[in-house]
Structure 1
């Protein structure tokens, strides 16, 4: 079994009730649910930070276009597909 640590959090009553309900509905402990939620949040944040940094690197390297140009390309693509449907 992995080492554990005790963590005390202050959460709203609403969050506490949701945690208890989820634990009951899934037959898991509130601690197990909270750990899974925190892990998912941390994983998502790490992914998001990496994606933001990759986007910044693209901009620094000049691999970007102006908003107006992007919108013009999107409109042209939409118009092209609308003509195919009509």
Structure 2
């Protein structure tokens, strides 16, 4: 069984009204929708931070490609996709 905890947040009155309209339209509670929105936001932001951390680890470990090499690869892929030869 999943447990939950309570957290109080302050909302602009207009946002609270919009959340209420959404709750009515979806037949969900404002609390459910707010928790779902917070979870989506937190998951997305954590994924961004984790990606940045992985990128920094790659830089420190020397697992990088120069801009020039990367662009040469992209140009070659474009050429091949346009019907050119590799």
TM-score for the superposition, normalised by structure 2? 0.80
The CA deviation at 1:21 is: 2.3
Count of aligned positions: 83
Cα RMSD after superposing both structures: 1.9
Distance in 2 (CA, whole Å) between partners of 1:37 and 1:3 is 15
CA distance in 2 between partners of 1:35 and 1:46 (Å) = 16
Within 5 A, what are the aligned runs for 1:18-57?
Answer: 18-57=18-57
Structure 1, unmatched stretches of 5+, are none
CA deviations on 1:22-59 (whole Å, 9 max, x unpaired) are: 21121011111001100111112222211110111011
Following TM superposition, the consecutive aligned residue runs of length 4 or more in structure 1 with deviations greater than 3 angstroms are none
Higher relative helix content: 1
Q: Which ranges in structure 2 are unaligned for 5 or more consecutive residues?
A: none
TM-score by length of 1: 0.80
